[in-house]
A = this chain, B = another copy of it.
Amino acid sequence: MPGNARVPRPTAQRLSLYLRELERLAAIEQLTVSSRQLGEAVGAADAQVRKDLGIIGHSGMPGIGYRVMALAEAIREVIGVHKQWRAALVGAGNIGRALVAYRSFHEQGFEIVAVFDASATVVGRTVAQLRVRPMTDLAATVAREGIDIGIVAVPAECAQDVADDLVAAGVRGILNFAPRLLSVGKRVAMVNVDFRSALENLVHDVSQREIAEISEAVSKPVARRRRGRGAA
């Protein structure tokens, strides 16, 4: 049993990034990497990288580093990308169409094999060689095509209904683009991608940076005021 220890979420997220860099290095035909180099590429400390790789049970060579190809393969296995995942997209709007068009998912272990939409005017049309199907076909298609995951790219108002349908149809995970927390059973995994939150996080960062710059410029680099409601 190589890679099935419990993987903390922060580590899992970094594994994705390591993998991206390892694939780049493999393309460059670099054979080994140090934890330092890998860490720099993804914005993590070297010790962090070593801890992460230790967690998934992968060893490197002291004085040398890690073998690029072997490490990439080990990470793919832990993430679960060594097999091909089949996805159903629900919602053939702007985001949905952009996702289907993104061909390189396919080389990365993912494939959108069916597209659904609730709107009668969209059903029957073709996006990226896939015919848009009516929602009534969902359950049957998921079963027939062996679909593992659902992608929700519909307006917030109907997102929960779609999620319910997907769960009932038997998907194991949902990637949600609607700006709404969806409730699904514990047996179904769920990841959110929320443009609005991302933008808000960004402008919050910008705002904080602004006030930091201002107070930096105003105060001598000694005063450490702030601390609002500190106890005595």
Chain A residues within CB distance 8 Å of chain B: 4-7, 9, 12-13, 15-17, 19-20, 41-43, 57, 78-81, 85, 94-95, 97-99, 101-102, 105, 108-110, 148-149, 172-175, 179-181, 187, 189-191, 193-211, 213, 226, 228-229
In the complex with contacts A42-B181, A57-B228, A189-B202, A207-B98 CB distance below 8 A: no
What's the nearest-Cβ distance from chain B to residue A97, in Å? 7
What's the nearest-Cβ distance from chain B to residue A7, in Å? 7
Contact B12–A196 (Cβ < 8 Å): no
Contact A43–B204 (Cβ < 8 Å): no
Of B79, B172, B202, the contact of A200 (CB 8 Å cutoff)? B79
Of B13, B20, B181, B199, the contact of A179 (CB 8 Å cutoff)? B20
Contact A197–B41 (Cβ < 8 Å): no
25 contacts between A and B (CB under 8 A): A12-B201, A13-B197, A15-B200, A16-B196, A20-B179, A20-B180, A20-B196, A42-B181, A43-B181, A78-B204, A79-B203, A79-B204, A80-B203, A80-B206, A81-B200, A85-B203, A94-B97, A99-B195, A108-B199, A149-B203, A173-B206, A175-B198, A193-B193, A193-B195, A193-B198
Contact B99–A211 (Cβ < 8 Å): no
Contact A199–B95 (Cβ < 8 Å): no
Contact A16–B197 (Cβ < 8 Å): yes
Of B102, B175, B201, the contact of A13 (CB 8 Å cutoff)? B201
B-side contacts of A15, CB under 8 Å: 200, 204
- Nearest 8 CB-CB pairings of A with B: A80-B207, A189-B205, A94-B98, A16-B197, A98-B98, A173-B206, A191-B202, A16-B200
Chain B CB count within 10 A is highest, among A41, A189, A195, A200, for A200
Query: Which residue of chain B has its CB nearest to the CB of A171?
Result: B206
B-side contacts of A180, CB under 8 Å: 20
Contact B81–A203 (Cβ < 8 Å): yes
Of B6, B16, B210, the contact of A226 (CB 8 Å cutoff)? B6
The complex places the Cα of A15 from the Cα of B201 at a distance, in Å, of 9
Contact B196–A105 (Cβ < 8 Å): yes
Contact B189–A206 (Cβ < 8 Å): yes
Of B95, B149, B181, the contact of A206 (CB 8 Å cutoff)? B149
